[in-house]
Structure formats: C-alpha cells, structure tokens
Amino acid sequence: MAKLLEAKKLSAFYGATQVLFDIDFAIEAGQITTILGANGAGKTTTLRALCQVVRTTGSLAFNAGAGEVQLVGKATENVVRLGVAHVPDGRGTFTALSVEDNLKLGAYVRGDRAEVAHDIEKAYTRFPRLAERRHQQAGTLSGGEQQMLAISRALMLRPKLLLLDEPSFGLAPLIVAEIFRIMRSINVEDGVSMLLVEQNANLALDLAHHAYLLETGTVALSGPSENIKNDESVRRAYLGY
C-alpha cells in the first residue's frame, strides 16, 4: 500500500527544549493511524510538527499522488494548501464568528465556490446540530458541538490527511461515540486518511488500523491496532488498563 506520509528522524523543539527525538513513522493512504502515549510523550507535538507549527528537523515526505513533497521547512499555510487539515487541541474554532463563517474559512484555500456550498450542506447533514446553529457564534456552542464544528471545518478543505488531536477530550461518552462513528464513516466513505492522537487508547485502537506508542519523545513500539490491543503486556505497560 502507498505511503501518504513518511517521517524519518523527525525531531521537534520548543525553543531549546527537544520534545521529539528522531522518530520514524508512516501513514498509509486511506487508513487511520493513531498515536498513543502518556501525557508529555510528544503526541500533540507530532501533529504540530506535521503542520510545521513547531521547529522541526528530519524528514516528512508527503505524497498525495502528485509526487513527493518535503513538509519540513514549509510554512504552515503551505502545508495546509497541500491538503493537510488539523483539528488542534482546544479545537481552534473562531469563537466570535458564526458556525457558517467557520465552515467557509475551512474552505478558504479552495476556489470552487459552488462545491464549497455543497460541502457546507454536507457538513450540516453529517452533524444536524450544526445546521440548527449555523448563524450562532461558535463560542456559544457546547463542547461537543464545537468539536463537531472543528472536524467539519477541517473537512471543508477536502483534506488528503486529517490530523485529529484528542477529539474525545472533555466530552460526554455519548457524544464521543457519535463523533467516533462519524470519523469512521469519513474514513470509509470519503476515503480520508487520518492521524489520530488520543488519551483514550481503547477507543482509538478500535477505530485505527495502525498504532504507534510514544514514550518521552521516542517510538516505543508500533503495529496493527489489533495486535497492540490484544497484547496484554503492552496494554499493562503502556496503556494502563
């Protein structure tokens, strides 16, 4: 299977502090890959490194079918333009703008206006609650609705790769179940590849095809989700359940 993204010797820094240490990983096209690990392991930083929001060294080879592109050293805006959409931790919605304006902004780099309108309607079909609140300020939405908005906004890019940072964080279990069900359908029906960072390992392993376990900025182990899920020693050592 084709690799959508391949990271080699990827390191990331906040100022002088190194957070990722020469990690290697790959994302297969069409699959959901998850990164698990304890607090401070470098999960969020890995996503930020992909978007070039933090200083990085090493290689990030991205190939969405139109030839290989090196992401390291690119401006964030240009990584986005290649089709990498990021749902950051804290969701990153534009709180003072309406739900609809948030969705329009998600498609900011696209030129096809008619198609954008179609995609906005699609987002409303996917999350009917957003349709009810389309003219409401995003900041007044509940946490679950904001997460739905953040995911919908990212999808407005028609991304090749969707980066999700703890989509279950702080949400009620029922809402989490709904959001994960929709994430699966986005992957299966729309063929969007995903890189998912999660605290809830069980949930993430159920959804993902492949998993990486990070430990203090290095890859401790990786493999198909099934294997990791069923390996009791791994579960005890790294996932704590």
Partner 1 sequence: MEALLHQVFSGLANGIIYGSVALALVMIYQATHHINFAQGEMATFSTFIAWALIQAGWPYWGAFFFTVAVSFLGGLLVQRIVLRPIEKAPVLTNVIVFIGLLLIFNAMSGMLFDHTIKAFDSPFPKDSALASKYFSAHQLGSAGVLLVVLAGLFAFFKYTSVGLAMRAAAQNPDSAKLVGIRVSWMLGLGWGLAAAIGAVAGMMVAHVVFLDPNMMAGILLYGFAGALLGGIDNPIGAVIGGLVVGVLENLLGAYVIGTELKLTVALVLIVGTLTLRPDGLFGKKVVTRV
Query: Tokens 């998993």 appear where?
Result: 211
Q: Interface with partner 1 includes 133 (CB under 8 A)?
A: no
190 CA to centre of own chain: 15
If one counts every other C-beta atom within 10 angstroms of the C-beta of residue 195, the result is: 25
Q: Identify which of residues 155 and 214 has a Cβ nearer to partner 1 in the complex.
A: 155
Residue 93 touching partner 1 (CB under 8 A): yes
Asked if 76 interacts with partner 1 (CB under 8 A), we say: yes
Pair of tokens at residue 202: 């069980």
108 binds partner 1, rule: CB under 8 A: yes
Cβ neighbours, 10 Å, residue 14: 11
Does position 51 interact with partner 1 (CB under 8 A)? The reply is yes
Q: Give the residue among 13, 18, 10, 27 at the shortest CA–CA distance from 208.
A: 27
Q: How far is the CB of 77 from partner 1 (least distance, A)?
A: 5
- Scanning 79-87, 176-184, 208-216, 218-226 for contacts with partner 1 by CB under 8 A, the matching segment is 79-87
User: Taking the complex as a whole, how short is the minimal distance between the CB of residue 105 and partner 1, in angstroms?
Assistant: 5
Of the residues 9, 40, 70, 77, which one makes contact with partner 1 according to CB under 8 A:
77
Residue 221 touching partner 1 (CB under 8 A): no
Alpha helices in the chain (DSSP H): 43-50, 76-81, 99-106, 113-126, 128-132, 143-155, 173-190, 201-207, 225-230, 232-234
**Of 77 and 121, which has the nearer Cβ to partner 1?**
77
The DSSP symbol for 119 reads H
CA distances from 81 to 75, 159, 206, 210 (A): 10, 9, 30, 26
Using the rule CB under 8 A, is 139 a contact of partner 1? Answer: yes
Residue among 168, 144, 155, 175 nearest 103 (CA): 155
159 binds partner 1 (CB under 8 A): no
Whole-angstrom Cα distance, residue 227 to residue 222? 9
Residue choice 6, 38, 58, 81 for contact with partner 1 (CB under 8 A)? 81
Nearest approach, Cβ of residue 155 and partner 1 (Å): 12
By CB under 8 A, residue 54 contacts partner 1: no
Shortest separation between residue 223's beta carbon and partner 1, angstroms: 30
Residues in the site for partner 1, rule: CB under 8 A?
51, 53, 75-77, 80-81, 85-86, 88, 92-97, 101, 104-106, 108-109, 139, 143, 153, 157
